Structure 1
Amino acid sequence: MRTARMLAGKSLGLLSTISALALTLGSAYAQDAAAPEPETGIRDIVVTAQKRSENLQDVPISVTAVSGESLGAAQVTTLQALQGTIPNVQIDNFANTPQTAVFTVRGIGVIEPDPYAGNTVSIVVDGIPQFFSMGALLDLYDVDRIEVLRGPQGTLFGANTTGGVVNVVTAQPTGEFGGFVKSAYGNYDRFDLSGSIEAPLVKDLLSLKVAGIHTQRKGWVTNVVDGSDLGRKNLDAVRAYLRLAPDGSDFDATLQGEYVNARNGSPIVINGSYRGEAIFEEPGVDGMYPSPCISGGQCRAPKKYYGANNSVPDISNMDTYTGGLTINYRNTPIGDLTSITGYKKFKLVEYTDQDGTPEFKNDTYRRTRGWQFSQELRSNIAVNDDIDLLIGGFYLKTHYDHIQAYRLQFAAPGLLQINLQDQDNYSISGFAQSYWQVTDRLKLQAGIRYSHEKTESTPSLETSIGNPAGSNYTGIGNTVIGAFTTGGTESWDNVGWKLGADYDLGDRRLLYASWARGFKSGGFTGRVGVPADGSEPFDPETVDTFEVGVKADFLDRRLRTNLAIFYTNYRDLQVAQIYFDSTTSTQGNRILNAGKAEIKGFELETTAVPVEGMTLRASLAYLDAKYKTFAYIDPLSGAALDLQGYRLQNAPKWNASFGANFVVPLGNGAELVTDVNYAYTSSKYYTAILDTPRSKIQPTHLVDGTITYYPAGRAWSLGLWARNLLDSRYISTVYDSPGYGGIAGYAPPRQFGGTATFNF
């Protein structure tokens, strides 16, 4: 109760501050609320953040929307390219598992690459949540928009959304003939070809649409072993829709499917070890490059990127199949019905040189297969003129099996560990969200969701000794020196909710406040080193977020300012720990439930159109994310540590951006559109509980730009684009394992090229 009173007091204090600010702004720019909406200024953006189509400025959530047009102009082909451009959102990957998405929103994010750890930020594609973070760094093509929702979204989107939701909406069929073809060429021999075509099969009834992309490039890291490039990419994807929409009917159905074929180079591990550590290699010996962390402190990226792979095939192959069926039936006796059925299956095979040196020290073969099936059924019901109700149910079933063959040549020649993971999960939930228009200006909302989840896990580990040359990944013929199987079955029940109020100040200004509770599922550790790692489940984590904000347009919609202030109480947060078990001389892995963390901050986003043809945008975000209570035993020293005040992982204190877009008329309807964007992210700690110097990522400054020519009618266009225009060199990820070494990854260098697009 004392905690609840403290939280409520902090929330009320923030609410008073933001209310005073909003009322002051409203008085300073008061206009006639009944005046017609001007045709000039900032355009409205329609989003589905609350599972219904609404104007972004009417949604009482901190949400950023990025249009498909903006993504296309900047030649963005993956979600990771948005890193640094969205307030309080980090989009990364782990160096040795680049296919795994690491999304962190407001300091809450992914802690482990393997599926057993789950997600805290849900990636939703056309209404279907993506359970697996493997493959969730989506390849973007023919996208309508991306909506990034910050804060717990458990009421409408379910478990594992304690950080937020990334809602990807692809360009759906329209029932009209049309399409486009787009090609791009850039440095590192990058070549992209994408396009779509839609053709009505039966006019005003049935339409078929097909979209696809091919993208390829060389890697930007040079292998010191043979001079080859590391990190190449080669991907093909195709997505098809069949839409049934009878003219004049309240019924429509869309069946869609996608296949993605990725044939990339193996993960790049940059050796970031110190002298004296297990995988350190002296620079210059056998062509070894200097470790970017060799100074003994914070790692620094060099001007030229070098790595090493001498022991594994250069392979990271992934095949993904997805299917979905969305049915809408409006104006039924029980409201507007929506059914969304989804299925996804994937297989990932990759090899990784884990030491990143010209010597054979250790490497892995990893194979993961997984599938998911989901079903959501919901109804939007207009109870009366003042009350709307969204009610529904959701079911999710998932399975994955995983093999990791880990050759530890540095520990003993021929030493091999084979970890098998086999896990099943299911979740079922019911939810309801209500909206009550109390007065013409005041609206209240209340939502609740009950969830039941169950996990069955049976991981195992076999350790053997074989050929000293270490050529065996199967273990066949080796001498087994240890083996065990562990795991268990556990289920959890949870009730999450959201309470909120928003007040229309008039003149397109909205003040809102909310209290949301979300949770992340519990589970079992799958990548085990000792039986105890996987025998006991880790508990769910719970988040309470209090948020107040204002969304306001001024000056005849030529200035838009959106501000959100939040306070989060984070309990039983899950933290990944890799440790050394002295009794068995084995490396172990486990998920800890830390005590509590406190997260507070704000997001400010502004857009201005001072004159026609000029759009300015800026954002500023602040994040204070620290442990409040965490009694931690250091596995290296055995010392008991109090980590109160330590910063959370992947949670930079400041994040800012500034952009400008200019539309220059060239006569006869032709236009030249230029866009430039600067993004700043302050320093952060990455995958190290103790906030060690080696785990610290330096502040980053990135500049992107585009220039595009459109003739009258925009039937075609030609463009130039550049990302990281100043060619700044940065470390993007570091895993710090004291005594063993550091595993680092480099951020992309400057990329540039040209595009040509034809619309029909």
Structure 2
Amino acid sequence: MKSPSSINPLQAFLLSASLAALSTQVAAQRLIEEVIVISNKQADGISTQDLPASVVTFNEAALKQAFTVDLVDIGKMVSNAELNNVGTYASYPNFFIRGMGVNGSTRTNDPKVGVFMDGIYLGYNAGALASTFDVEAVEVLRGPQGTLLGRNVTGGAVLVKSKRPGDEFGFRIEADVGNYSATEVNASIEGPLSDRIFGKVAVIKMDRDGYFEDNNGGTVDTSIYPAGMPDTDTGDKVGMDLTIIRPMVRFELSDNFEATLIAEFLENNTGSANSQNVAHNCRPIPGVDNRDIVCGQGSQFLAQTTWGYTPPDDKYEINHDLIGYTDLETSSFVLDATWDLGHGIVTTIAGYREVEYNSSTDFDGTPFTIFHFNDNKEEQEQTSIEVRYSSTFSDRFNFVVGVNSFDQDYSIGERRNFFIALNSATYSETEHETFGIFGEANISLTDALDITVGGRWTKEEKSIDIGILGSCELDFSSCTNNTSNDKDWSDFSPKVAATYRFGDDAMAYASWTRGFASGVFNARAATLDAVGPTDPESVDSFELGIKTSFLDGRGFLSLAYFMADYEDLIMFVNNPCDDCGASLINFNAGEAEISGFEAEVQFQATDNFRLDASIGTVDPEFTSIKYFDANADGVVDDKDNQLARTWDFQKVAELSYSVAGMYDFELAGGASMLARVAYSWRDDYMTDLYNKPWLQQESFGLLDASLTYTSPSEKVRVSVYGKNLSDEEYFDYAADVGALDSARWGGAPRTYGVRVSYQY
């Protein structure tokens, strides 16, 4: 949904480009710097410009200039990527890359975009990169990355590296105030503890009121519901009360051995998710025979028809009868050790993380009890270790080999308060073990031609003990309808790539890789048959790319075309359930083909002006439906194939792009100013498997801008900034509420603030 003040893409581009006119210099001395990627595990490292893959990397300077707060802000700058929160649960990310992701909040549905924090895969994404303060680099990899990174990254991966302690004493503090009573105070201090031991502590504190206000708004038709509008509690959602403490110690035990211990303690206490009821008259979907699947029992339970309720017109006004809460606590420990043997480097990364996530949320977004999640409780614990060897003994042949293991246990207690009277609960415990052996070798056949071959063998085991929804006590103390199931899978995922260099400034590459995602259980099963697991999902991905620098290093261009064939695609759908509101079903939908194009350009046009841009297209299509009754007629046949091929994938914008212009200039006395204007765009996309039009997100664009003063000593910075300055209206997620109604979540309004920082 576009606001009246929205800015079109051409205007945004011209606004960024117009900054160049402020400069009178023609010949630029600044060059586009090379950034070493953190996903490649070769000992010598490789820059973004030389990596034969579609990747976007942000260093610390880029994160500061864009005033990024979390991964959501980073996602706006990456085409063909949606790095948003799930919506239905606060503080819980849900990422899509190249059309692949999990459009829901069922924890047993493994993410298809892997998140790696300081080399550790996160089995539970809650709290993933809640702040970019004191982060050295963030990397977004598009496409399957299973060879080096491992499990369930059939869509892509996001890697984050914390800034390590330096050799000298230093500290940094920044304070931020903004609208919605936002305050942020961050600080870090680092320095030597002895000749070979260096320490650092970073502390992050963020507070903010919610963007959405509950004022008991909207109307109720008293001819339908004589009691009128219920008088419920009021307040704002979703606020923020975030504290992160990140201590780390780096040991240089010898000239050849270094180890860093990183800990992080996070606590975030917010309100529940900001669901807003969608006003509509439920309409059948063309080609879908069963109206109950689409509208829910003939739609007689809709808030509009049962109580005559009409939601508030204001995008940022809601009306809930349950205020709710979200309490998140995480603790993590990472040991990153490297040992240089002369002929190669041995790296060990070991990690432990625990998560406690408690929440209570008004799912339906109305002042009536249609569908609530009351007092849900989740706990997760994971351990992992990876040991690898990267060779350094040859300029023409290098390789990396390694082993890793990942174990996680998690429990989920979920309560549903459904349509006033019905209260039901489910409780499950899941164990998950993964072991992998991987390797990748790069061979320089000539000075211009390199061949890369690699592969990973993976063994996974999963088991679940579950009390079926409706069979458990509301305090999760016992269940009467229990079942247990377990399954194991093994897979070999190969990779082949060729790189050809055209001199020092350009290269072309072609790659083929296979990705693997293990089958999933269903922690929200309403019947024994729905527990699962599904079969695994696999993908064969082919990519062609060109990367080149131009104008003597002042510009860099990256182009990539990809085509991926998915088999046994894992998806889910919410079907109506008389006793529980919605019955979630996991299934292997069939086969799909996803193709598209990506381009990134960085151009230092003059000494003072720089332009960054990213554009991507995605074209996904079902090619064969095996187990998905698309038209809901009770039979899976060719009619389902024909219908599904006309549908858009969920949360996939066919066109996305971003453009940013930065202009800096000197002031008297050696101070400087930096102006930045950025615009990002997403085409319209569907949020529902059945492509329900009332759940569609219309095309939207977001305009950000900032102005930063830097003192002559470069120790003091003062900035004013704004995000979504045109106050564009959009949402992060939308869904049916128990097949009875519809709601949408999220979408930040215009925000602005002032930031002051001091660095020594």
User: Is TM > 0.5 for Structure 1 vs Structure 2?
Assistant: yes
Is residue 399 of structure 1 aligned with residue 409 of structure 2? yes
CA distance in 2, matches of 1:252, 1:585: 54
Aligned pairs for 1:690-709 within 5 A: 690-709=690-709
Q: RMSD of the alignment, in Å?
A: 2.3
Note closer, same or farther for the CA distance 1:115–1:66 as it changes in structure 2 (3 Å cut). Answer: same
Per the TM alignment, residue 732 of structure 1 is displaced from its structure 2 partner at its CA by: 2.5
Offset at 1:183?
Answer: 0.5
Residue in structure 1 matched with residue 647 of structure 2 by the alignment: 646
Q: Secondary structure at the match of 1:689?
A: coil
Q: State the partner residue of 2:488.
A: 491
Tell me if the contact between 1:80 and 1:137 (Cα under 8 Å) persists in the aligned partners. no
1:220 is the counterpart of 2:211? yes
Residue 92 (structure 1) aligned with residue 84 (structure 2): yes
SS in 2 for 1:76: coil
| Contact kept in structure 2, 1:278 and 1:741, CA below 8 Å | no
How far apart, in 1, do the equivalents of 2:55 and 2:186 lie?
Answer: 29
Partners of 2:68 and 2:202 in 1: how far apart?
A: 16
Paired AA for residue 439 in structure 2: A
Residues in 2 aligned to 1:758 and 1:462: alpha-carbon distance in whole angstroms: 53
Amino acid at match of 1:307: I
**Does 2:113 match 1:121?**
yes
Q: 1-side partners of 2:394 and 2:316: how far apart?
A: 63
> 1-side partners of 2:684 and 2:562: how far apart?
21
Q: Give how far 1:284 is off.
A: 13
Do the aligned partners of 2:259 and 2:338 also contact (CA within 8 Å) in 1? yes
Matched, 1:156 2:148: yes
Contact kept? 2:89, 2:272, Cα under 8 Å = no
Q: Give the C-alpha shift of residue 158 in structure 1.
A: 0.6
Deviates more, 1:253-262 or 1:516-525: 516-525
Name the CA distance, whole Å, in 2 between partners of 1:435 and 1:619. 29
Structure 2 residue ranges without an equivalent (≥5): 1-27, 217-232, 283-298
Greater RCO, CA 8 A, separation 6+: 2
Whether 1:318 and 2:340 are equivalent positions in the alignment is no
Counterpart in 2 of 1:370? Answer: 380
Find the partner of 1:240 among 242, 247, 255.
Answer: 247
- What are the residue-to-residue correspondences of 1:619-698 with 2, within 5 Å? 619-631=614-626, 632-634=628-630, 638=634, 640=636, 641-642=640-641, 643-686=644-687, 688-698=688-698
Alpha-carbon separation, structure 1, partners of 2:347 and 2:650: 38
The match for 1:594 is 589
State whether residues 539 and 566 of structure 2, in contact with CA within 8 Å, keep that contact through their aligned partners in structure 1: yes
1:261 equivalenced with 2:256 (yes/no): no
Amino acid at match of 1:439: T
1:556, 1:73 → 2: CA distance?
A: 25
Unmatched runs of 5 consecutive residues or more in structure 1: 1-37, 292-301, 466-471
- The one-letter code sitting in structure 1 at the alignment partner of 2:250 is R
Identity %: 26
Question: For the residues of structure 1 that align with 2:469 and 2:338, how far apart are their CA atoms?
Answer: 51
Match of 2:426 in 1: 419
Map of 2:220 onto structure 1: none
Shift in CA distance, 405/273, structure 1 to aligned 2, threshold 3 Å: farther
Contact kept? 2:464, 2:484, Cα under 8 Å: yes
Report matched runs for 1:164-313 at 5 Å.
164-203=156-195, 205-225=196-216, 226-246=233-253, 249-272=255-278, 274-275=280-281, 277=299, 280-282=302-304, 290=311, 303-311=314-322, 313=323
1:47 to 28, 37, 50: 37
The answer to whether the aligner puts 1:734 opposite 2:755 as a matched pair is no
| TM superposition shift of 1:651 | 1.1
CA 94–439 in structure 1, closer or farther in 2 if over 3 Å, else same: same
* Aligned AA (2:207): Q
Could you tell me which of 504, 513, 517 is aligned with 2:514?
517
Aligned match of 2:362: 353
The Cα shift of 1:77 comes to 1.9
Q: Identify if the C-alpha distance between structure 1 residues 279 and 63 changes in structure 2 by more than 3 Å, giving closer, same or farther.
A: farther
Shift of 1:220: 1.3
Distance 1:486 1:284 in 2: 37
CA contact (8 A) 2:577 2:738 kept: no
In structure 2, give the amino acid aligned to 1:598.
E
Moved more, 227-236 or 381-390: 381-390
1:691-741 Cα distance to aligned partner (Å, 9 max, x none): 121231111110011110001121111000111011111132111358411
Name the amino acid aligned to 1:520: A
1:501 aligns with 2:498: yes
Change (3 A) 1:268 1:513: same
Task: Check conservation: 1:99, 1:137, Cα contact below 8 A.
Answer: no
Aligned counterparts of 1:430 and 1:675: Cα–Cα separation in 2: 45
- 2:525 matched residue in structure 1: 528
- Deviations 1:566-624 (Å, cap 9, x if unpaired)? 11111111001211368x88742221101110010110111111210100122211110
Q: SS of the counterpart of 2:713?
A: helix
Query: How far does the alpha carbon of each residue in 1:113-145 deviate from its partner, in whole angstroms, 9 at most, with x for none?
Result: 122110111111111111113333533221111
Name 2:4's counterpart in structure 1: none
Query: CA contact under 8 A between 2:581 and 2:739: conserved in structure 1?
Result: no
Matches within 5 A, 1:74-89: 74-89=66-81
The 8 Å contact of residues 279 and 310 in structure 2, kept in 1 or not, is answered as no
Could you say if the C-alpha distance between residues 39 and 317 of structure 1 is closer, same or farther in structure 2, counting changes exceeding 3 Å?
Answer: same
1:551-630 aligned at under 5 Å gives the runs: 551-580=547-576, 587-630=582-625
Question: Could you tell me how far apart the structure 2 residues matched to 1:371 and 1:475 are?
Answer: 19
Any conservation in 2 of the 1:194–1:213 contact (CA below 8 Å)? yes
User: Normalised by the size of structure 1, how large is the TM-score?
Assistant: 0.87
Aligned partner of 2:753 in structure 1 is 753
Encode CA deviations 1:483-542: one digit per residue, 9 max, x unaligned.
4222401000000011001111113211111001111111211111111111x3101100
Conserved? CA contact 1:271–1:280, under 8 Å: no
Q: State the 1:447 CA deviation.
A: 0.3
Correspondence for 1:389: 399
**1:680 is aligned with what amino acid?**
W
The answer as to whether partners of 1:627 and 1:647 remain within 8 angstroms in 2 is no
Using the size of structure 2 for normalisation, the TM-score is 0.87
C-alpha distance in 2 between matches for 1:657 and 1:644: 29
What CA distance in whole angstroms lies between the structure 1 residues aligned with 2:583 and 2:727? 39
Letter in 2 for 1:614: F
Task: Report which stretch shifted further, 106-115 or 320-329.
Answer: 106-115
Q: CA deviation at 1:319?
A: 0.5
In the other structure, the counterpart of 1:538 is 534
Task: Kindly provide the amino acid, as one letter, of the partner of residue 317 in structure 2.
Answer: Y
**1:165-215 CA distance string (max 9 Å, x none):** 101011111221112000000000000001110021102x00110001000
SS of 2:652's equivalent in the other structure is: coil
Cα deviation, residue 559, structure 1: 2.0
State the match for 1:18 in structure 2: none
* 1:305, distance to aligned residue in structure 2 (A): 1.2
Superposition deviation, residue 267 in structure 1: 1.4
- Which residue of the other structure, out of 142, 145, 168, is the alignment partner of 2:137? 145
Which residue identity is paired with 1:329?
W
Whole-Å separation in 2 of the counterparts to 1:399 and 1:721: 42
List per-residue Cα deviations over 1:392-441 (Å, max 9, x = no partner).
0000010000100111134xx2x211110100000001001000011111
1:247-275 residue CA offsets vs partner (Å, 9 max, x unmatched): 6x011011110100111111121112534
Deviations 1:640-681 (A, max 9, x none): 522124222111100111110001111322110011101011
Cα distance change, pair 278–510 in 1 and its aligned pair in 2 (3 A): farther
Paired with 2:417 and 2:182, the residues of 1 have a C-alpha distance of 34
Question: Counterparts of 2:721 and 2:419 in 1: how far apart (Å)?
Answer: 45
TM superposition shift of 1:44? 1.6
3-state DSSP of counterpart to 2:704: strand
